[in-house]
C-alpha cells in the first residue's frame, strides 16, 4: 500500500478493522469484510486500474482451503466489476516437493501437497476467467523478508540471533529463494504501470535474493559484527507438536523447501521492466534486524562499516525459489 501511494497512486485499502497506524496521504481505508464485494464497490465508485489480491487466511483456520478459493473469487468479482487488472503474489508451492533448482514460468507445476494443489487451482481459475475478460497477473517470489513478524527469518533463521546463534533450516550449501518485501512491492507497482502491455493472463517470476544458508550466515555475522554459533532448527519439536497444532503441521509440511536448492528465473520480468529492484543482502538485514522481534541491542545493529560482500542473487549464485492480511488494495493511478 505504501509503495503504491508513494508512487502517486490513489489507494483504497480494505480491512475489517480500523488501521492501527495512519495511512499514507494517498490512501483511504475501506472497513468491511473482503468478501463483501458490494460494500467495496460502493466505496470505490471511481474507475479502478488494479486490484492487489494479498489475502491469506491463517493456516490455523479449519476452513482455510475453502477460504482461499472464496477470497480469490471475491477478488475476481471485484476486478470484473471494475474492469481492473487483478494482481496476485505467487509462491513456489506450485512446483511440489521435488521442485527443480531453477524455476521459470514454464516449469511444470506438481500438486503433490495440499498447498501446491490449492495455489495451482487458484491460478488456473485466474487463467480461466481471462477468457471472460478478467485480466490478471501472477508475480511469483520466494520466502518473504521484511520488518514485519511472522517470516522464516524471524521464526527460523534469526530466532536466536540475540543469543549469538544462527539457526540453520537445512543443509547449508543449498540455495534458497527470498524476496525483500519493499523490493517486491516496487515490482508490483512497476508491472501495474506496464499493464497495457500485458496479455489477459500473465505470470512473472521475481528472482529476489537467492543465497545458500552459509551465505546468509556470513551476512548476519557481518551485519551484527560478531561470530554466530550455528544450531539446527528443531524440526523434531514440530513433529511432536504436529498432532495437536494445525500451525505446526502446516510449517512441517513446508520443510522440503529447506532440503532442495531453488531460485526463480526473472528473465521475463526483466524483458518487461528492464532493471528489476533488488536491495543488497547486507542492506536488507540492516533494515530488518532493527525490528523488535529480533531482540538485538542497538550496539549489534548495523555494526558493519566495511565493504559489503556482493549481493547473492538469482543471476550470481550458482544453482547445483505477515500479520493477518485480510485486505484489499485497489489502487487507481493518477
Q: What length is written for the chain? A: 334
Residue 312 binned pLDDT confidence (cut-offs 50, 70, 90) = low
Determine the Cα–Cα distance for residues 19 and 5; give it in Å rounded to an integer: 16
Residue 69 lies in a domain: yes
Residues 228-255, mean pLDDT to the nearest whole number: 92
Give mean pLDDT, residues 121-136.
97
Is the residue at 188 inside a domain? yes
Domain membership flag for residue 151: yes
Angstrom distance (rounded) from CA 53 to CA 326: 9
Q: Between residues 249 and 186, which one has the greater pLDDT? A: 186
Would you say residue 317 lies in a domain? yes
pLDDT mean across residues, the chain: 88
What is the reported pLDDT for 85? 98
Taking the C-alpha atoms of residue 92 and residue 292, their distance in angstroms, rounded to an integer, is 28
Instruction: Give the confidence band of 317 by pLDDT, cuts at 50, 70, 90.
Output: very low
Dist. CA 50–CA 30, nearest whole Å: 16
Cα–Cα distance list, 266 to 242, 269, 275 (Å): 36, 5, 11
CATH number for position 149: 3.40.50.720
As a whole number, mean pLDDT of residues 91-120 equals 96
Residue 102 has pLDDT above 90, yes or no: yes
pLDDT recorded at residue 172: 97
Kindly tell me if the per-residue pLDDT of 328 is higher than 60.
Answer: no
Residues in a beta bridge with 27: 11
> Is residue 334 included in any domain, yes or no?
no
Arithmetic mean of pLDDT, 118-127: 96
Cβ atoms of residues 205 and 268 within 8 Å? yes
Task: Reply yes or no on whether the pLDDT at 304 is more than 80.
Answer: no
Q: What is the pLDDT of residues 134-158, one digit of tens each?
A: 999 999 999 999 988 989 999 999 9
**Rounded Cα distance, 131 and 125, in Å:** 11
User: Which structural domain, as residue segments, surrounds residue 100?
Assistant: 2-329
269: buried, middle or exposed (CB in 10 Å: 19+, 13-18, 0-12)?
A: buried
Mean pLDDT of 108-112: 97
User: Would the pLDDT of 64 be above 80?
Assistant: no
Flag whether pLDDT at 101 surpasses 80: yes
Whole-number pLDDT of residue 333 = 34
The predicted pLDDT at position 299 comes to 66
Domain count for the chain, please give it.
Answer: 1
Amino acid at each position: 500500500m505504501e509503495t503504491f501511494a508513494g508512487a502517486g497512486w490513489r489507494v483504497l485499502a480494505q480491512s475489517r478493522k480500523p488501521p492501527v497506524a495512519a495511512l499514507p496521504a494517498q490512501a483511504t481505508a475501506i472497513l468491511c469484510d473482503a468478501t463483501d464485494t458490494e460494500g467495496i464497490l460502493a466505496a470505490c465508485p471511481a474507475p479502478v486500474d488494479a486490484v492487489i489480491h494479498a489475502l491469506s487466511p491463517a493456516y490455523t483456520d479449519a476452513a482455510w482451503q475453502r477460504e482461499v478459493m472464496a477470497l480469490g473469487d471475491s477478488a475476481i468479482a471485484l476486478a470484473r466489476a471494475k474492469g481492473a487488472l487483478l494482481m496476485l503474489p505467487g509462491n513456489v508451492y506450485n512446483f511440489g516437493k521435488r521442485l527443480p533448482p531453477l524455476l521459470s514460468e514454464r516449469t511444470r507445476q506438481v500438486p503433490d501437497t495440499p498447498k501446491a494443489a490449492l495455489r495451482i487451482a487458484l491460478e488456473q481459475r485466474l487463467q480461466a476467467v481471462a477468457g471472460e475478460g478478467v485480466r490478471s497477473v501472477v508475480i511469483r517470489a520466494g520466502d518473504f523478508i521484511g520488518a514485519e513478524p511472522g517470516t522464516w527469518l524471524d521464526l527460523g533463521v534469526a530466532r536466536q540471533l540475540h543469543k549469538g546463534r544462527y539457526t540453520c533450516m537445512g543443509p547449508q550449501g543449498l540455495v534458497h529463494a527470498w524476496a525483500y518485501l519493499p523490493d517486491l512491492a516496487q515490482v508490483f507497482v512497476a508491472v501495474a504501470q506496464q499493464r497495457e502491455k500485458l496479455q489477459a493472463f500473465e505470470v512473472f517470476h521475481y528472482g529476489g535474493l537467492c543465497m545458500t544458508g552459509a551465505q546468509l550466515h556470513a551476512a548476519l555475522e557481518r551485519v551484527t559484527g560478531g561470530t554466530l554459533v550455528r544450531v539446527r532448527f528443531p524440526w523434531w519439536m514440530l513433529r511432536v507438536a504436529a498432532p495437536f497444532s494445525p500451525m505446526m503441521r502446516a510449517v512441517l509440511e513446508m520443510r522440503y523447501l529447506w532440503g532442495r536448492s531453488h531460485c526463480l528465473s526473472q528473465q521475463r520480468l526483466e524483458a518487461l521492466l528492464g532493471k528489476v529492484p533488488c536491495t543488497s543482502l547486507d542492506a536488507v538485514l540492516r533494515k530488518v534486524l532493527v525490528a523488535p522481534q529480533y531482540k538485538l541491542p542497538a550496539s549489534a545493529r548495523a555494526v558493519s562499516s566495511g565493504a559489503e560482500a556482493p549481493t547473492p542473487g538469482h543471476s550470481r549464485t550458482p544453482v547445483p525459489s505477515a500479520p493477518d492480511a485480510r485486505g484489499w488494495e485497489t489502487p487507481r493511478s493518477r
